[in-house]
Amino acid sequence: MACRDQNAANFLNEGKKIVGVALNYMDVVKARNVPVPKEPLVFLKPTTSYLQEGQPIVLPKVFTKVAYEVELGVVIGKTCKNVSKEDALNYVAGYCLALDLTAQCNLGAARAAGHPWTSKFIPLDQVKDPHNLPLWLTVNGVVKQKGCTADLIFKVPDIISYVSKYMTLEPNDLILTGTPDGSDAFKAGDVIECGMAELAKLTFQVCAE
């Protein structure tokens, strides 16, 4: 697999943190009838929550409602702090497709301990425009989410610049940019598939703990 640098291909193993952004698609804001955020709504996840394709999604007994969220992931390539929006994309190593899961029955805990499932690293030269990538997700073959990164409220440079004001971003850190409308609960026995343009696709079987 070609990539700009060797470390970028190993972000699942070498990244120190995952930064998520909530309410970052205009269709979600409209569907929920909430105000458009004035700045990115950011939360953190531990990298120990990664799971790669091929392993089943196991629903914990303590969660009664867990929802799927297809997202564009941004892999940081160089250490950065207080980065300007104009310079932000220079710190991106590449991208990935991510399936983020949120325990809606216990949303606060999920923001801290939820699990992102991610695809392989996608080099920069394969992504001509990170803000024009169709995203889709199906459950048992039925389309549940269909959106495009063109609808992001805060674009990739906005997010990197904002986050880097408050914390240092390091190589292989992952930023989850948010999910389109349609996120909903799933159950054991379901098959979840998601994709991003023609660049990546993920398939997961779901089972009970």
The pLDDT of residue 3 is above 50: no
Backbone angles phi, psi at 24, to 5 degrees: -115, 15
Nearest to 171 by CA among 7, 3, 23: 7
Q: Which residue has the higher pLDDT, 203 or 58?
A: 203
| pLDDT single digits (tens) 97-107 | 999 988 766 55
pLDDT over threshold 50, residue 1: no
Could you state, in order of their start, the residue ranges of all structural domains in the chain? 7-208
* Range 7-208: architecture per CATH: Alpha-Beta Complex (3.90)
Tens digit of pLDDT for each residue in 10-60? 677 788 999 999 999 999 999 999 999 999 999 998 888 888 777 888 887
Instruction: Quickly state the pLDDT bin for 62 (edges 50, 70, 90).
Output: confident
Contact 165, 171 (CB under 8 A): no
Identity at 148, one-letter amino acid code: C
Q: What is the pLDDT of residues 110-133, one digit of tens each?
A: 444 456 777 888 999 999 999 999
Q: Give 15's DSSP letter.
A: -
